Each structure stands twice: as structure tokens, then as C-alpha cells.
Amino acid sequence: MIDYDFLDIEYSGELPMIVFTERGWQIEADQRTDEFLREWEQWLEQAISNPDMIYLKDRNREMIFLFLEKVSETQDKRYIPYLKAWAEIDYKKVKTKIQEVIKALELNEPIERHSLLRREASMKEMLEGEAPQDLLLKCYQCGERFIFTVGEQQFYQQKGFVHPRRCERYRVK
């Protein structure tokens, strides 16, 4: 996952932490919103009418907006009570978006097909994106070419270093 730029290692003092990269987070957010939607579908099947919506508060706003977009795309009016309950406890920007989704569901507005296609294309592009590769660099000191491996690139990026300008032989000096 690290080699394919889905996860990265960051340090908090001396402790290493595994974190999502931007690419990894976009995929995780998409999957998480699908899980939320499946959960709501289960609530409907179980006739749960008043669930506690606090679990959606204080989440990543980009992910929440994606979830609301997916709710809107379902065109399922049965979600409106959940949306109204959620709107009672969340912040202004999220409430505004929730109200837009409720209105779209009530009016049975058709989904914007181009936004759905754009999101699908973006996800496909990310998943099929180029995997990190070794780089062939030229030594500033001797003019010879040397390989800057993916592992070295990640280490340099992690430490905030720029690409080396010299081969290993001249970096030691």
C-alpha cells in the first residue's frame, strides 16, 4: 500500500504512524460512504425510524459531502427522515447541504449524470494511476547516472529532503 501511494509513514516525534495519502484517502472515503449508505439501507429494512445521527458529526467534510451526493443519487425519499434528524445536530455548512439533498429528494429532481460520471472517472484514474517507479538521475559531481529507488524517494519525501544531486559515492564525502 505504501509502494503504490495509498499509505505513507509520518512521524510524531519518534513514533511512526501509518496515514492515508491523498490518493488513498479518496478511495477510503468513497468506500466509507458506501458503507454509510448500506447502513441506512439496513435501517430502512429493520424499520429503524429514529437512529442517533451523532456518528456523522465531526467527520471529514469532503467525505460527508460525498455521502450526501450518493444519498441524492439514490432518489430514495425514505432517507428524508434520517437526513432531517441529521440536520438537527450538524454544523451550518453540512445542514445547508443536507437541506439541498432533502429538497432534491422531495422534488424528485434527476441526478446530474455528469457529476456521477466525473466521480467514477476520477476513482478509476486514481486506481489505475502509475505506481511509483525508480528514477534514473545524473550525478552533479561525476556525470554518471545512478538509480534513485522508490524506497529512497519515500525516505527523502518523508524527511522533507529534495532529490539527491550526487551519486552515493560522492554523497558520502
Q: What is the pLDDT of residues 37-65, one digit of tens each?
A: 999 999 999 999 889 999 999 999 999 99
Q: What is the pLDDT of residues 126-140, one digit of tens each?
A: 556 666 778 888 787
Mean pLDDT of the 116-133 span: 63
| Three-class secondary structure of residue 173 per DSSP | coil
Q: What gap in Å lies between CA 146 and CA 116, rounded to an integer?
A: 44
Q: Where is 114: in which H helix or E strand? A: helix 113-127
| Three-class secondary structure of residue 151 per DSSP | helix
| Mean pLDDT over each residue of the chain, to the nearest integer | 84
Q: What gap in Å lies between CA 95 and CA 124, rounded to an integer?
A: 30
Q: What gap in Å lies between CA 40 and CA 94, rounded to an integer?
A: 18
Report the candidate in 102, 51, 41, 52 with the shortest Cα–Cα distance to residue 77: 102
| Three-class secondary structure of residue 14 per DSSP | coil
Q: What gap in Å lies between CA 172 and CA 163, rounded to an integer?
A: 15
